[in-house]
Chains A and B, each alone.
Chain A
Amino acid sequence: MSSLLSAPSALREDALRRLKREMWARAVKLGLRSWVGWRRGFTSKADPQRSGRVTAEVIEHLERLALVDFGSLEAVARLEKAIAFADRLRAVDTDGVEPMESVLEDRCLYLRSDNVVEGNCAEELLQNAHRVVEEYFVAPPGNISLPKQDEQEPFSHI
């Protein structure tokens, strides 16, 4: 590590990136081995879809869909633990039980009559906007695509 500190900054960043990638790959392998063992202890039915780990592809897919930055090994580990925790539901026998739609399902859905009672507050709404052009909200042109996995740094803040 001390040799890195004395190297020029570009080289230093490069080396750091490579190091992080190696650490990440090693950690995933370690993590999944222990995680799989722990999980097998609880489930009786083998889920063919769940190979027992959250792959890097899945993380990338989730980051793209939800615009969430996992950012660290701990975050991924937390996700895996959360999934395992929820998996314990499978221990309950639900054969022949009708699933619920939501916890509100026996409430009455209120029907509003078709009258205009809101609106006309453009000024108030536009106050929230970072940029405004003549009473329009301003957004970048189209969605800005996330960089692909090999382009981006796996963990910029550890």
Chain B
Amino acid sequence: MAALMLRWSCLGKRWVLACIDGGSRHGRGAAIGLTSRRKRGQSSVAQQPLIAVQKSRKGEHEWAAVVGLEIHAQISSNSKLFSGSQVHFAAPPNSLVSFFDASLPGTLPVLNRRCVEAAVMTGLALNCRINKKSLFDRKHYFYADLPAGYQITQQRLPIAVNGSLAYSVSVGKKPSQVSTRTVRIKQIQLEQDSGKSLHDEPRSQTLIDLNRAGVGLLEVVLEPDMSCGEEAASAVRELQLILQALGTSQANMAEGQLRVDANISVHHPGEPLGVRTEVKNLNSARFLAKAIDFEIKRQIHELENGRKILNETRSFDDKLGCTMPMRDKEGKQDYRFMPEPNLPPLLLYDTASLPPGADPQQVINIDWIRERLPELPGKTREKLIQQYGMLPEHSFTLLNEVGLLEFFQNVIKETRAEPKKVTSWVLNIFLGFLKQQNLAVNESPVTPSALAELLNLLDRKAISSSAARQVFEELWQSKGKTPSQIVSEKKLELMQDQEALERVCHTVMEGHPQVVMDMKRGNPRAINKLIGLVRKATLSRADPTVIKEILERKLSS
């Protein structure tokens, strides 16, 4: 069989399979219209060049992929959900474990107030209905890192239901082509985290560390409204920003504070939904989109070849770039949910229903929390756009990079330059340098004050923009020097003496009569040549616009 290449792309909600005959002589093969979703190698077909298609070849089928997510976010609190042991990332094994966490007999769960408040804040930020009464249940399964043999969760009646999350995806090649999508939130529930198991394959044993056992988690269940890896990754990123803005979770995927499981299925549009598989252990934003896209591709491929999809659990192997079935998870799990007998229902109040004379420590007022919600990322972006007149995609970039917004705001505070100039310098030049050297904002050698000073110099035309770039490069390399110092050291100041400049222009014009003739005849390139000559004569210390103005004036006189 000749090398048949299968190209996939996400056209809106449809996956188009176009069979391309690799050995074909006529035309360069088929290309798929929407190339936008290939951002930063998130797709599993990122290596293959994308080419445009006008009509489909033989064997085109339309598939729709359906992706739902279950996101577990570790609540940022001092102590655990049901016990008083500490929540901390790195600590000696089993040192942050209480008797309850180790599931010793005679221990009982005691609910942490901060965790409930975090759940209510998150529910309100995601437009959910907060259930004034919610219940705790036990979910039973056996695994070494779950000492009790069950996890306390909220299955019957969670704390918040029916919300929505708005996120944006790019829909074209240009960064300005973005579209806002919404994904419905089925529910948010409080649950316990399990311990950590370290697999020691050679010695055929697993080492268990219970420091994480019992830490409070917020499980956010997103309805299957997404259709590809990029949408899922964008939704998760937006949720991360919201959680960080609220302070309810640090949502750092690298430290395991945000974990995502994806439920993926494919079907032909118009037909019922297909069998879904669950992909677990997606612990990095990069691999999230890759794994989902791979799984969609795999399912389509299996179905196209007449095989069936098993309702199974898979994990993503990032080195191989593919999903593999997980052992220990064969068949459908029966968790035997039962009400948690040691915890009465959780009752929440609002200002209207607050019982009079109640102990404020023992009651939670939803309205009180709503009034004190911090500003959400969507609102922050709106304000940036209104206040500084920046484009929406700029506001996204500013919020997406950790610490960049703060940097930007500090520069704005100290400079007289126009906000648009500041935006351009921060997003293009500053961010460019950071990315090139793979640095975070807080590792930048250039401080906001330094950049502010530089922009001030530029603003009052003390230096030209090319000189400013030189100064910036110099600032980046050498710490401690201020922009003014660098400017004077390298003699980058613009010539301020108008008369001297006029004399130079005059000299140059005298020295090149031919070019002047060309200019008089209306040759546009001639003037540029003159400007170049003048600049060279002034050692690049003159502003090209001023030179142009002088030359034109001289010519017309």
> Which residues of A come within 8 Å of B, CB atoms?
61, 65-67, 101-102, 104-122, 125-126, 128, 133-143
Contact = CB atoms under 8 A, between A and B. Distances in A.
B361 A111 contact: yes
Nearest to B326: A142
Interface in B448-478: none
Q: Which of B93, B200, B204, B342 has the most CB of A within 10 A?
A: B93
A122 B344 contact: no
A113 B113 contact: yes
B77 interface: yes
Contacts of A136: 93-94, 198, 207-209
- The 5 A-B pairs at the shortest CB distance, nearest first, are namely A139-B144, A119-B85, A114-B114, A136-B207, A118-B98
B284 to A, nearest CB: 24
Contacts of A120: 95-96
Given A115-B84, A125-B210, 9 more contacts: A109-B347, A119-B84, A119-B95, A128-B104, A137-B210, A139-B144, A139-B206, A140-B205, A141-B200
Interface of B: 77-79, 83-86, 92-100, 102, 104, 110-116, 135, 140, 142-144, 197-201, 204-210, 327-328, 334, 336, 339, 341-347, 361-362, 364
B110 A110 contact: yes
Contacts of A128: 102, 104
B142 A143 contact: yes
B77 A114 contact: yes
A122 B91 CA distance: 11
Contacts of A104: 341-344
B346 A126 contact: no
Nearest to A100: B339
A65 B334 contact: yes
Contacts of B206: 138-142
Given A121-B97, A136-B209, A109 B346 contact: yes
A108 B110 CA distance: 12
Contact of B94 (A101, A102, A137): A137
Nearest to A129: B208
B94 A135 contact: yes
Nearest to A67: B142
Given A67-B142, A114-B79, A138 B207 contact: yes
A61 B79 CA distance: 38
18 contacts: A65-B334, A66-B336, A113-B114, A115-B79, A116-B79, A118-B85, A118-B100, A119-B84, A122-B97, A125-B102, A128-B104, A135-B95, A137-B144, A139-B144, A139-B205, A141-B200, A141-B205, A142-B206
Contact of A125 (B97, B328, B341, B346): B97
Contacts of B201: 141
A110 B197 contact: no
B92 A143 contact: no
Q: Which of B94, B100, B198, B205 has the most CB of A within 10 A?
A: B94
B207 A119 contact: no
Contacts of B144: 137, 139-140
Nearest to B362: A111
A107 B344 contact: yes
Contact of A110 (B86, B111, B142, B205): B111
A102 B339 contact: yes
Contact of A101 (B77, B96, B339): B339
Contact of A139 (B208, B327, B339): B208
A108 B344 contact: yes
A134 B111 CA distance: 32
Contact of A113 (B334, B345, B361): B361
A112 to B, nearest CB: 5
Contacts of A106: 344
A122 B328 contact: no
A119 B98 contact: yes
A125 B94 contact: yes
B242 to A, nearest CB: 21
Contact of B345 (A105, A111, A117, A125): A105
B102 to A, nearest CB: 5
Contacts of A66: 336
B94 A134 contact: no
Nearest to B211: A119
Contact of B84 (A108, A116, A135): A116
Contacts of B104: 125, 128
Contacts of A102: 339, 341, 344
A109 B345 contact: yes
B445 to A, nearest CB: 38
Given A101-B339, A102-B339, A119-B95, A114 B207 contact: no
Contacts of B86: 116, 119
Contacts of A111: 111-113, 116, 361-362, 364
Nearest to B199: A141
A116 B97 CA distance: 11
Contacts of A138: 205-208
Contacts of B334: 61, 65
A135 B345 contact: no
B112 A114 contact: yes
Contacts of A143: 142-143, 328
A116 B208 CA distance: 22
A142 B511 CA distance: 87
Contact of A105 (B96, B113, B344): B344
Contacts of B95: 119-120, 122, 135
B461 to A, nearest CB: 56
Contacts of A116: 78-79, 84-86
B93 A122 contact: yes
A133 B207 contact: yes
A114 B204 CA distance: 39
B92 A135 contact: yes
A139 B116 CA distance: 33
A137 B197 CA distance: 9
A135 to B, nearest CB: 5
A138 B35 CA distance: 50
A6 to B, nearest CB: 42
A109 to B, nearest CB: 5
Given A114-B79, A119-B85, A139-B206, A101 B112 contact: no
A136 B213 CA distance: 13
A138 B92 CA distance: 16
